[in-house]
Structure 1
Amino acid sequence: MGRKEMKKIAIYPGTFDPVTNGHLDIIKRSVELFDQVIIAIAKSSSKSPMFAHQDRQKMMELATEGIGNIRCVCFQTLLADFARENQAKLIIRGLRVVSDFEYELQMGYANASLNDELDTIYFMPTLKNAFISSSIVRSILEHHGKVTHLIPEKVYHYILQLKGQVCISH
């Protein structure tokens, strides 16, 4: 009787405030490489997110409908502990510009120091999504600009629904 092969579980963590086409680009490519991708939505109170934690989870669920082998969950613990709890050995991170690399490298080392089974893999978004960031989307939203080319359509419609319930500008 052979050994049972372990599933390759990766975590794609982020604030996803809101989820963008750049995030979706990385998610679609990640699911091709791993048995399961856990999209971990961080509470990130220190970042003062525009959207509530549960709303960001709902947006991610809408954006990833129909994509197999993913799970969207909220978390508010250390990423290294969250990975251990979910038997994940890999963290997925996106790199858009050179300045992202320095920060992400430090975070990768910090996570590995807290969980020595943890490694980080970096994806560059496709060229058409390389400039998109959640902060750019939030800024455009605050000024009532067009974001339909930057975020998934279902997320845009969800934001429009929320607009009647909450103020989306600070």
Structure 2
Amino acid sequence: MRIGVCPGSFDPVTNGHIDIFSRASNMFDLVIVAVFHNPNKKPLFTMQERVEMLNMAVKDIPNIKVDSFSGLLNDYVRRQNSNFIIRGLRALSDFEYEFQRALLIKKIDPQMETIFMMTSSEYSFISSSGIKELAKFGGPISEFVPECLQDKIIKRIREKS
């Protein structure tokens, strides 16, 4: 069984993320969307909430499993019986950052492979932080996040503002 792991903070998940998950699901028998704890970020949603939101957003993609973890990514991927990391890219700046991370992981775990997937052009400008900022100022987010999550995101933004 070919298993790919797509890690991220997904705070919140966007249609760009869903695009990557969906396309990756055509390449692997199982795609594990793994929410990780990033101590450098202050998330809008708890890890448990992000897992729940992801489960709602990917419920129609049969070969996706949502999980969460903290610690080293390559250790997590190995525990999932995989050596494939899936990373979505929007722009050249994403590539530079992700390329450095991929090389570091490859150095400490030579069997690990990182697969870069370019987002579809219609989602190339969408980021979780951009969605949060747009929602904070009352902008429309309906085109950018799964419909089933829109109210939850807007409600949380209003609570925090």
Any gaps of 5 or more consecutive residues in structure 2?
none
Which residue of the other structure, out of 50, 75, 83, is the alignment partner of 1:89? 83
**CA–CA distance in structure 2, aligned partners of residues 148 and 30 of structure 1:** 24
- Structure 2 partner of 1:167: 159
Q: Does the 8 Å CA contact 1:16/1:56 hold for their aligned counterparts?
A: yes
**CA–CA distance in structure 2, aligned partners of residues 40 and 69 of structure 1:** 14
For residues 16-55 of structure 1, the aligned pairs below 5 Å read 16-55=10-49
Equivalent residue pairs, number: 161
Question: Which amino acid in structure 1 is aligned with residue 97 of structure 2?
Answer: Y
Give the TM-score normalised by the residue count of structure 2: 0.94
Give the TM-score normalised by the residue count of structure 1: 0.89
Aligned CA RMSD, in angstroms, stands at 1.5
**Structure 1 residue matching 2:32: 3-state secondary structure:** strand
- Which protein is bigger by CA-based radius of gyration? 1
**CA–CA distance in structure 1, aligned partners of residues 148 and 107 of structure 2:** 38
Any gaps of 5 or more consecutive residues in structure 1?
1-6
Which residue of the other structure, out of 45, 65, 68, is the alignment partner of 1:71? 65
Q: CA deviation at 1:52?
A: 1.1
Q: Does the 8 Å CA contact 1:92/1:123 hold for their aligned counterparts?
A: yes
- Structure 2 partner of 1:112: 106
**Structure 1 residue matching 2:160: 3-state secondary structure:** coil
TM superposition outliers: structure 1 runs of 4+ over 3 Å: none
Question: Which amino acid in structure 2 is aligned with residue 134 of structure 1?
Answer: S
Q: Deviations over 1:115-145 (max 9, x none)?
A: 2211001111111111111110011122222
Question: Which amino acid in structure 1 is aligned with residue 34 of structure 2?
Answer: A
**CA–CA distance in structure 2, aligned partners of residues 163 and 122 of structure 1:** 31
Give the % identical residues. Answer: 37
Question: Which amino acid in structure 2 is aligned with residue 30 of structure 1?
Answer: A
